[in-house]
Amino acid sequence: MKINELKINRMVWIPAICLIILSVSCDIATEPEIEGPTQVEAKQSIGPSNILARVNNVAKDGNEIFDVTEVQPIPPGGMAGWNDYLKANVTYPAEAKSMGIEGTVIVVFVVNSDGSVSNPEILRGIGGGADEEALRVVQNSPKWEPAMQKDRIVNCRMRLPIRFKLS
């Protein structure tokens, strides 16, 4: 019986030793106290004059082409006028109709400082003649009101969707 009692006594010590080792090895971290909100003084005001413009490429007239400007180009009549222009001038391609092609063509073009449109390209097309029709309509669009950056008229790259939907 003494042998069984010795084994039981040893077995009691094993979990106790494990518990002691575990509690010593754990590091109890206290969370730092969070103070209330603090006031921060602005070193510089944020407004249109602080907007940085991204410039990519150079236009035909030697001036840079901006991707982002303070004042974006505006089509005649605003975006509502642009939508009216598209409704009146886009012809659904016969090939796209016969193939049942629908979708959105994304056209990239430059609105020059004189308001004219140049360099139309397809960023994402749907085929079936819709891409060519979108290019034609954008190339033949009336003059836009040009973009402005730091109170000067600049060239600006635009990306616009043209939706083709069978009704």
Q: What is the Cα 44 distance to its own chain's centre?
A: 26
Q: What is the pLDDT of residues 33-71, one digit of tens each?
A: 545 444 444 444 444 444 444 555 655 555 789 999 999
Domains of the chain with CATH codes:
50-164 (3.30.1150)
Residue 104 has pLDDT above 90, yes or no: yes
pTM score: 0.64
User: Which tokens sit at 71?
Assistant: 């004042």
Q: Provide the pLDDT confidence category of residue 143 given band limits of 50, 70 and 90.
A: very high
Range list of β-strands (E), the chain:
55-58, 64-66, 103-111, 117-124, 147-149, 152-164
